């Protein structure tokens, strides 16, 4: 997790799949107006975001694997 010099955070996740390498970066940046500085971002909601990202990658990779099977190609000819 990287913190900006002001108020914000960036997290990057990478997943190596069978068909592609996947990267997702989330930037949390300060608003344009002045706010009280708080350095207490909770990581737990972002950890759940990482799990959703892994699920999406797995489903997309599985879908591609199914499309490459002979039975799938024959049924869509």
Digit-coded pLDDT (tens) for 8-64: 778 899 999 888 999 999 988 777 777 776 666 677 778 899 999 999 999 999 999
Alpha carbon 76 to chain centroid, angstroms: 31
CA angle in degrees (0–180, nearest 5) for 8-11-14: 165
Is pLDDT larger for residue 6 or for residue 11?
11
Q: Rounded to whole angstroms, how far apart are CA atoms 10 and 29?
A: 8
Q: What's the confidence (pLDDT) of residue 1? A: 45
Q: What's the confidence (pLDDT) of residue 4? A: 44
Q: What's the confidence (pLDDT) of residue 74? A: 79
Q: What's the confidence (pLDDT) of residue 44? A: 77
Nearest of 41, 37, 13 to residue 28 by alpha carbon: 41
């Amino acid at each position: 997790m990287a913190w900006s010099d002001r108020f914000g955070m960036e997290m990057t996740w990478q997943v190596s799949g069978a068909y592609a390498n996947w990267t997702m970066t989330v930037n949390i940046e300060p608003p344009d107006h002045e706010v009280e500085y708080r350095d207490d971002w909770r990581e737990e909601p972002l950890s759940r975001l990482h799990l959703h990202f892994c699920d999406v990658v797995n489903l997309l990779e599985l879908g591609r694997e199914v499309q490459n099977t002979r039975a799938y190609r024959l049924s869509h000819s």
